[in-house]
Amino acid sequence: MKLFFTLFLCCLIFSSCNTSSALAKEFSCSNTKFTGNLEQNTDIKKTFSIQIPTHWKTNFFYNDLQSSIYFADTTKQLTETVLIDITHIKSDYKFDTDFEKSILKNDSIQQLVNSKKAQFSFLENNAFYAVSKGRKGNFPYQIVNIFINKNSINSYHIKTEIYGDTQINERLCKAINLINSLEL
């Protein structure tokens, strides 16, 4: 009996270490941790925090309605890195047909084509993501917008931008691994 309990406990620990977030599963990312020195960054209004590599450039913005952190690895070329913008908004999202139409309309204005969209759960909150592709400037461009509805007066928008056409999935998964450290 003791052996059974020990094996069960080991399996439980092993499986919990290997579980991926719903977001990582959506994009077929492995559960590898981001390598390098990370530091916890909190937005100016203290509505969320996230771990960001210490050598990445980080900008903070806020006004009466929102607070955001924008960060990227500026030691790399634009086509080798990922840009992430996380914004807290004093509003809520309604993931309905009108919401989806507004995403498609925004993509059209930016001359992007939506390639994937779906609702999912993120940090135990209703969420929605949309992947759009096109060109921005001289580069192939992909953007992943993640909308998280915390409650009727708080929501979050995470924008992940990838320029170029090499290592797109690898860069996206690195971004997702950072985004998974988000604390709301």
Q: Summarize pLDDT for 2-16 with one digit per residue, the tens.
A: 443 333 333 333 333
Cα dihedral: 71, 75, 80, 86 (round 10): 0
pLDDT > 90: percent of the chain: 79
- Dump pLDDT digits (tens) for 78-126: 999 999 999 999 999 999 999 999 999 999 999 999 999 999 999 999 9
- Kindly report the average pLDDT of the chain as a whole number: 88
Could you tell me the strand order of the sheet in which 125-136 lies?
Answer: 57-62, 66-72, 83-89, 154-163, 139-151, 125-136, 112-122
Identify the pLDDT of residue 11.
Answer: 39
State residue 62's pLDDT score.
Answer: 97
User: Which pLDDT band, with edges at 50, 70 and 90, does 22 fall under?
Assistant: confident
Q: Are 61 and 157 in contact (CB under 8 A)?
A: no
Distance CA 146, CA 21 (A): 14
pLDDT category at 147 given cuts 50, 70, 90 is very high
Report the share of the chain in percent with pLDDT over 70: 86
* Residue-wise pLDDT tens digits, 26-80: 888 886 566 679 999 999 999 999 999 999 999 999 999 999 999 999 999 999 9
pTM metric for this prediction: 0.86
- Which pLDDT score is estimated for 4? 38
Q: What is the spatial distance between Cα 122 and Cα 146, in angstroms, rounded to a whole number?
A: 9
